[in-house]
């Protein structure tokens, strides 16, 4: 993994995502190396290089502190194109230092991560008058997760993270996406039950979007897993109603377990 320290010129960028006013990305690049990631397309980075580098914006807390003095208050999404709690955060603590700046002005925050490292900052997040933390889950199966998101926290750690955040009174959501097309309708009831047991009240779902280069990358990662590959190929290309049926069942089970259901974007 190539780690490079860089300086940034701006900290807060306008967000185009609904309900979010700004995006804040302390890092460029991501150690999680998720095979389905769409960010290389957004940042125009070669997919071959993605997952092999992280640029650490060492001056971002200082830049943020200056911007917050003149910015109109709004919801800050942390992060939108890289995980703010990937493992380099343990050393550099940029996300934590950015939170320390944001709490001075009490900007609303929405954090999304796949890492249990967010628990380190529970005391800090609890000080915000409006904060939420979303944990991304793509499959309940750790073996499948390790194939396509090899450096992210285990699924059990992620769900435990949601529970601990809720136990501390922090508002949470689970981002169930991109849902792996290995999941069957019969799996949904148990999955939603697991989610509800964390104490979260909101579930956001998303399908797997085949941006340029994604399918080629998935095929490469799944080449030694023929059963999983067959499910991906069938449900992404042949079974055109796969995600609509999955979403309908998730929505039905969310009603049973009193979870708010949303589709992403």
- CATH number of the domain to which 235 belongs: 3.20.20.70
d(CA 50, CA 171): 32
Helix %, strand %, coil % of the chain (to 5): 40, 20, 40
H or E element: which one contains 28? strand 27-28
Q: Is the peptide bond before 178 cis (omega within 30 degrees of 0)?
A: yes
Chunked mean pLDDT (size 10), the chain, 265 residues: 94 92 95 85 74 91 97 94 94 98 97 97 97 96 93 93 97 97 97 97 95 89 95 96 98 97 91
Q: Sort 240 into a burial class: Cβ within 10 Å, 0-12 / 13-18 / 19+.
A: exposed
Question: In degrees to the nearest 10, what's the CA dihedral of 177, 159, 29, 25?
Answer: 90
Residue 212: the pLDDT is 83
Residue 68: the pLDDT is 97
Residue 13: the pLDDT is 95
Q: Print burial letters for 39-56: b (CB count within 10 Å at least 16), e (below 16).
A: bbeeeeeebeebbeebbb
Residue 265: the pLDDT is 75
Q: Which of 94, 108, 114 is nearest to 37 (CA)?
A: 114
Q: What angle do CA 264, 82, 130 make, to 5 degrees?
A: 65
156: which 2 tokens?
Answer: 């059990």
Cα distances (angstroms) measured from residue 116 to each of 12, 48, 120, 137, 152: 24, 27, 8, 12, 9
52: which 2 tokens?
Answer: 């092999």
d(CA 155, CA 61): 31
Number of domains, the chain? 1
Residue 151: the pLDDT is 87
Residue 121: domain span: 2-263
Look at the pTM and tell me if it is higher than 0.75: yes
Residue 213: the pLDDT is 85
243 Cβ partners below 8 Å, 6+ apart?
179, 181, 207
d(CA 56, CA 133): 22
């Amino acid at each position: 993994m190539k780690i490079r320290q860089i300086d940034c010129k701006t900290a807060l960028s306008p967000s185009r995502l609904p309900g979010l006013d700004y995006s804040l990305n302390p890092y460029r690049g991501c150690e999680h190396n998720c095979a389905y990631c769409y960010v290389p397309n957004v940042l125009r980075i070669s997919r071959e290089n993605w997952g092999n580098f992280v640029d650490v914006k060492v001056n971002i807390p200082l830049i943020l502190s200056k911007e917050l003095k003149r910015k109109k208050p709004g919801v800050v999404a942390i992060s939108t194109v890289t995980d703010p709690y990937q493992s380099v955060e343990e050393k550099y603590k940029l996300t934590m230092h950015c939170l320390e700046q944001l709490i001075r002005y009490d900007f609303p925050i929405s954090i999304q991560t796949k890492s249990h490292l967010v628990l380190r900052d529970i005391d800090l997040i609890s000080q915000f008058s409006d904060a939420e933390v979303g944990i991304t889950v793509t499959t309940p199966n750790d073996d499948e997760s390790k194939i396509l998101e090899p450096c992210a926290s285990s699924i059990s750690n992620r769900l435990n993270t949601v529970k601990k955040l809720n136990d501390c009174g922090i508002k949470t959501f689970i981002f169930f996406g991109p849902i792996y097309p290995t999941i069957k309708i019969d799996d949904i009831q148990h999955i939603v039950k697991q989610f509800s047991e964390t104490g979260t009240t909101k579930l956001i779902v998303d399908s797997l979007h085949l941006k340029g280069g994604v399918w080629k990358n998935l095929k490469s990662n799944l080449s030694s897993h023929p059963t999983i590959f067959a499910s991906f190929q069938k449900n992404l290309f042949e079974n055109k109603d796969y995600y609509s049926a999955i979403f309908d069942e998730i929505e039905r089970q969310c009603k049973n377990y009193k979870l708010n259901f949303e589709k992403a974007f």
